[in-house]
Structure 1
């Protein structure tokens, strides 16, 4: 899509004019006074933590040694290096070769604080109706050509042209245009959306001249199609070699243009970053034990508790380390597809939660290492609790007639199991709710009174380890007459069924930042429900939810943002769109002991592998296989 270049006078709005007028109608001195100043960084809530004079982030080792290789594992394979398309599986680590306009630090509570990458400055007016980014004049592609404004405009246009998800995400952008020779302006269709200037800084920029050129065979490249030709980038790394669906290796660019940028000092320390693909989690873990890759993030509490007793752990060649996770929240659960008629009834959805015995599963399967998800923002200050009051209550009053009454009268709490008596009580409550939903228990089958059909729920999953949670849940469902169908499918079929919304129930997780905003429309917004590329997997269409999302997006300060998020969380919970599962507020890692990291780690990330480095002495002691 090609955008027109409208001539707006945003200065007029900034000085209080009632309508937009031609810039020629405003005195030059007044127009100049209204122009916002260029800033080295920006923050959504407050002031960026690092000033213009900063030479590096506090948490890096600016003298970290360069060298060595780090091997990482991934799953599912890959078949393209073109990351903007919704079809195909992009290569892991592909963003190592690209850069965005600006990037965040890893140690600021306001994670929306951004600092210059391809852009060296940003500015926007008080009403947030547009944003401009000024390109760093030193920014270059790996072929030596400069990064230009045309590259930025082209990258944006192609992203929304070929990716419906990006088109939806950037729906508020009405124009993108060059401003002079080294700045680009994005104009928005509304005012007061404080996040829009920030999310445009996250745009990854691609080289227009390369994609519109020809390959070694003289064939014209096509951004609308997948490709396994290593693309041109501008980042710290370039693609060295690869084998489709198996592995890809990135090598550090010695003459990288931005190595002295404050955001880059102390980072990009490995000569090579290699990604190895595995199709099965069990095989992947055995590969780690066999020193086929270096760093493993353990997502299974059961495995963490029971399977880290191999020789390399005992003799210190493999190190276990836990990092606190303060950077994000999550909703993980059995997502119910509201596009199926049977899930339209909230009593039925709530009944399914009463059948899930988290406490017993956590004890037997996960050694009590997990916490029950009790919020769509579990693990953060954004999670609702107690009864609404203050600003949150004021916000909820605006949707009182559109939400379940319990939103105002009860704190949301998951049913508690853990022993036979409690489980029996919960299952009896589930049966009662199902009766209210129009079902009746006949001959140990939960029958739809209108159709005479047994209630059947298909659960799709791609990892056999999921059965540790699914099997006891399925047993409880069978106890109350529901027929569970557990369907193990391969990764590609799983992805296709999720994309086509062809499922009853599936375990998924939606991660949340500490500064929620426009992405909430994609997660829960009505418009996203019919968009196959969105993350509204359940198909939520709820006017109250839409209104609360807008309250978040247009929040004028942190206090209002938190209150609006609490309100949204509460309404989502009381609609019972998911059966909440579990989460952990720490990151459990294991690594072959051949790497170093800064003494003072960033508060909101492990920083691996960006701020870590290869330690030659440790590598010799662990007999590194590189």
Structure 2
């Protein structure tokens, strides 16, 4: 295994007094500490001796449950799942350290104390899958192309990158905007996939395509059946296979994503082994449908594995860009009509818990009354915040009765709407002073979600709201979500253990009106913007936690969504043909470190379970 000399990996260079000391390290983390030393052989959560071979297959997912593009970097088209396997990044994340990353394409990273710039020293042996060398010019091209033509997320994330310069073929310097919060910027740019400049000199970057691209990672596209399946297989001679960050990872020769028109067809395919690994997200299926022969005979294993990450912000998101949702009392009244307790007992078999925080299942969740440093931070914005932020515990939805329509919630919702100026007319519908009916449309592309949405719609109608649930096809759903054409959208935001610049796209004003961002609610609030910047500027883990809790508390007080549910675990069903490490990484599902067990596979074949 190739390792760099220790002296090159953990160096602090003394510069003249007027200059800052420059650190040269084998990795980087938000607050300086790294778990793994310069000469670490591999991450602790992998099996360095894992066998190589076999095929791992999943069900393909995505907004449209299909795909028509192999370009995941632009708005055009619906990209196939798994395209990240084609590309390497400058740094690779550690999945047992929040925010830490270690050298992949980059052997080391240099930065001054204030992190106002970063130089990545590239490994000379780095290659693209067509054999061409990967150089600093490719890094420069990547960031220029993403800022100019990439999805809006890139433009927002890279807003603080002032320049990217190739200092020589294997050194690239990022200079960050003066005044920017620089704590996470080196790691952020280190996490972006590197693209080949020579390939895109001939191929238009800004167009979607089904032609397999040239990548920088260990996999290539082996087979494409548009909208039906895509297969990735390992390159014959991947230059980075023996790097410490890659040892024990990507042990399968090929990875396949099989696409199905609906959940029923996908589930039937799992039963007969058309794909081999599945995470179940439907509680009713998990509770009642896994009694088929392959499970009963032990061919398919079922497991519930803990998930140490924030559980994700799953909910019904109000579109605050629409005037009818301007008053938070309207939003709160609507949210009261979602009866989680009834749904959990009746529809979910009691498998879920109610979400109340955007960082549920983590130390970042706000709880109780603000105090200490969190209170001091919020006091700076007291005149711009609701008094309830200071006088009441962080908002949690009230517990409803087990009747589908909770009468107490209905009375409180009526009171809130009356106070907001939406009163009930003779026809039972609520109107404002201008005579406009309060109409609310929920759009969705999942027939399976109707059983959850329709009781909610029924409760809204009981409140006097002209509420509808519109089922549209996945392509329409993707388009409407990208341009924010909805009253209420159903969605789940994946939240980070060490939140940073991605918050600008999720909740910042800049993301509110940029098509293609994930600011589903259209939050555009100066206090939220200020708290996001304070989070990005945090200088310790303790400061970060305090500031995220403050943001969580403020967002919850604004009633920008109807929080749904979480479980803090993975429901996995997989054919018994795999091996895996003894311990999973705490902050990942861990299947990237599983391997093919040929003996198990042959045993199932002998029993007639698999072809």
Q: TM-score, normalised by structure 2?
A: 0.94
Deviation at 1:392, TM superposition (A): 0.2
- Please show how residues 476-491 of structure 1 align to structure 2 within 5 Å: 476-491=459-474
In structure 2, the partner of 1:171 is: 159
In structure 2, the partner of 1:345 is: 327
Runs of 4 or more consecutive aligned structure 1 residues displaced over 6 Å after TM superposition: none
Deviation at 1:606, TM superposition (A): 2.2
> Could you say if the C-alpha distance between residues 87 and 323 of structure 1 is closer, same or farther in structure 2, counting changes exceeding 3 Å?
same
**Distance (Å, rounded) in 2 between the aligned partners of 1:464 and 1:516:** 33
> Could you say if the C-alpha distance between residues 561 and 332 of structure 1 is closer, same or farther in structure 2, counting changes exceeding 3 Å?
same
1:37 aligns with 2:23: yes
1:401 aligns with 2:406: no
SS of 2:60's partner is strand
In structure 2, the partner of 1:3 is: none
| Residue of 173, 198, 210 corresponding to 1:185 | 173
Q: Which runs of 5+ in 1 are unaligned?
A: 1-13, 16-27, 214-220
Deviations 1:434-461 (A, max 9, x none): 0011011234623213132332211111
**Distance (Å, rounded) in 1 between the aligned partners of 2:507 and 2:436:** 31
Deviation at 1:513, TM superposition (A): 1.0
SS of 1:622's partner is helix
Q: Which runs of 5+ in 2 are unaligned?
A: 1-11
In structure 2, the partner of 1:613 is: 595
In structure 2, the partner of 1:603 is: 586
In structure 2, the partner of 1:7 is: none
Q: TM-score, normalised by structure 1?
A: 0.92
Deviation at 1:421, TM superposition (A): 11
**Distance (Å, rounded) in 1 between the aligned partners of 2:284 and 2:337:** 22
| Residue of 510, 525, 528 corresponding to 2:493 | 510
- Please show how residues 99-110 of structure 1 align to structure 2 within 5 Å: 99-108=88-97, 110=98
| Residue of 86, 94, 105 corresponding to 1:118 | 105
RMSD (Å) for aligned C-alpha atoms: 1.8
In structure 1, the partner of 2:537 is: 554
Deviation at 1:84, TM superposition (A): 1.3
In structure 2, the partner of 1:47 is: 33
**Distance (Å, rounded) in 2 between the aligned partners of 1:474 and 1:147:** 54
Kept after mapping to 2: 8 A contact 1:329/1:514: no
**Distance (Å, rounded) in 1 between the aligned partners of 2:603 and 2:550:** 54
**Distance (Å, rounded) in 2 between the aligned partners of 1:254 and 1:248:** 19
Deviation at 1:621, TM superposition (A): 2.2
Deviations 1:555-607 (A, max 9, x none): 11111111111111111111111111111100111001111101122122221
Deviation at 1:35, TM superposition (A): 4.7
Kept after mapping to 2: 8 A contact 1:39/1:121: yes
Kept after mapping to 2: 8 A contact 1:445/1:454: no
**Distance (Å, rounded) in 2 between the aligned partners of 1:419 and 1:295:** 35
**Distance (Å, rounded) in 2 between the aligned partners of 1:440 and 1:341:** 17
Question: Aligned pair count?
Answer: 591
| Residue of 272, 277, 284 corresponding to 2:266 | 284
Deviation at 1:93, TM superposition (A): 1.1
Kept after mapping to 2: 8 A contact 1:592/1:622: no
| Residue of 271, 285, 292 corresponding to 1:310 | 292
In structure 1, the partner of 2:68 is: 79
Kept after mapping to 2: 8 A contact 1:439/1:446: no
- Please show how residues 518-557 of structure 1 align to structure 2 within 5 Å: 518-557=501-540
**Distance (Å, rounded) in 2 between the aligned partners of 1:210 and 1:534:** 28
Kept after mapping to 2: 8 A contact 1:459/1:487: yes
SS of 1:512's partner is coil
**Distance (Å, rounded) in 2 between the aligned partners of 1:318 and 1:174:** 52
Deviation at 1:280, TM superposition (A): 1.4
Kept after mapping to 1: 8 A contact 2:229/2:258: yes
**Distance (Å, rounded) in 2 between the aligned partners of 1:424 and 1:51:** 60
| Residue of 340, 348, 357 corresponding to 1:375 | 357
SS of 1:204's partner is coil
